[in-house]
Chains A and B, each alone.
Chain A
Amino acid sequence: MVEVGDMLVGYATDEDIRSRGASGGLVTAVLAAALEKGLVENVVVMKHINEFEAVPIITDDVKEVLASIGSLHSVPVNLAKYAVGRKVAMPAKPCDAQAVIEQAKRGMIDLDNTYIVGLNCGGSMHPVTTKKMLVEMYDIDPEDVVGEDIKKGKLVFKTKNGEEKALRIDELEEAGFGRRESCRFCTLKIPLNADLACGNWGVIGDLSGSATFCQVMNGKGVKLLENAIKAGRIEVQPASDKAIAIREKVNNVMVDLGNTLEKKILPVIPDEERLQYYIDQLADCVNCGACKEVCPVCACGEDSKCTTFHSLVDNYKMSMYHMVRMLHLADSCISCGQCSDVCPSDIPITLLKSRFAIPSQRKRNYHPGIDLDTPPFFEVMLK
Chain B
Amino acid sequence: MMTEQEWTPKIVAFCCNWCSYGGADTAGMGRFQQPASVRIIKVMCSGRIDPLHVFNAFLEGADAVLVTGCHLGDCHYVNGNEKTEVRHQFLEEMVQQLGLEPERLYLNWISASEGEKFANFVNDVTEKVKKLGPSPLKPEGVR
Contact = CB atoms under 8 A, between A and B. Distances in A.
Interface of A: 269, 271-278, 305, 309, 314-318, 320, 323-324, 326-327, 330-331, 355-356, 359-360, 363, 377-378, 381-382
A271 B82 contact: no
B137 A318 contact: yes
Contacts of B99: 269, 271-278
Contact of B139 (A275, A315, A355): A315
B36 interface: no
Contact of A377 (B82, B86, B97): B86
Contacts of B86: 377-378, 381-382
Interface of B: 50-52, 55-56, 59-60, 79, 82-83, 85-87, 90-91, 93-94, 97-100, 136-140
Contacts of B82: 381-382
Given A278-B98, A327-B94, A309 B52 contact: yes
7 contacts: A274-B97, A274-B98, A275-B137, A315-B139, A324-B52, A330-B93, A382-B83
A171 B92 CA distance: 40
Q: Which 5 interchain pairs have the tightest Cβ spacing?
A: A274-B99, A275-B99, A316-B59, A381-B86, A323-B55
Q: Is the interface of B mostly helix, strand, loop or mixed?
A: helix
Nearest to A326: B94
A361 to B, nearest CB: 11
Contacts, number: 77
Nearest to A273: B99
Contacts of B51: 324, 327
Contact of B83 (A317, A318, A378): A378
Contacts of B79: 382
A320 B52 contact: yes
A214 B17 CA distance: 59
Contacts of A363: 93
Contacts of A317: 59, 136-139
B90 A331 contact: yes
A104 B91 CA distance: 25
B26 to A, nearest CB: 30
A305 B50 contact: yes
A330 to B, nearest CB: 5
Contacts of B138: 317
Which of A314, A315, A327, A382 is most buried by chain B, counting CB atoms within 10 A of its CB?
A327
Nearest to A308: B52
A330 B90 contact: yes
B91 A327 contact: yes
Nearest to B59: A316
A314 B90 CA distance: 25
Q: Which of B51, B55, B79, B87 has the most CB of A within 10 A?
A: B55
Contacts of A314: 59
Nearest to A310: B52
A275 B100 contact: yes
Given A305-B52, A309-B52, A359 B97 contact: yes
A354 to B, nearest CB: 11
Nearest to B93: A360
